[in-house]
Amino acid sequence: MPLNKHAILASDDLPTREVKVPEWGGSVRLRTLSVSEGIAFEEAKNALHENKIVALFLTFALGDVDGRRLFAEADAEDLCRKSPTVLLRLFNEALAFNRMGDGGDAERQEKS
């Protein structure tokens, strides 16, 4: 049976994934960005130095157990004060999870 508009818009198609961060004493939840969040990220990153793009992307990609964002874009500066090792690891995992960048392309090819 074909889906109607309401069923499509009500579906939860943005998965999350838990990632352990031993340096922080626990784990974080990565979330899938919606199309509108991906566009907002692309627009916002144009105004930033490239080193801050990692933190900005994580403000979109880190979420709570219900899939809602943990951070606002304004929190990127605070995340920049955290370990670059941790942030880069989470950034790369979030890119692959969202199928963005080289990690997503490689993952797509493996599953084909």
Residue 75: the pLDDT is: 95
Q: Note the pLDDT tens digit of each residue in 60-89.
A: 999 999 989 999 999 999 999 999 999 999
**100 pLDDT band (50/70/90 cuts)?**
confident
Exposed / middle / buried, residue 54 (Cβ in 10 Å: 0-12, 13-18, 19+): buried
Taken in order of first residue, the domains within the chain and their CATH numbers are 16-111 (3.30.2220.20)
Give tens-digit pLDDT for 5-29: 999 999 999 999 999 999 999 999 9
Within 10 angstroms of residue 48's Cβ, the number of other Cβ atoms is: 15
Which range among 10-14, 17-21, 40-44, 97-101 shows the weakest confidence by mean pLDDT?
A: 97-101
> How many alpha carbons lie under 13 Å from residue 61 in its C-beta half-sphere?
27
Place 104 in a pLDDT band, splitting at 50, 70 and 90. very low
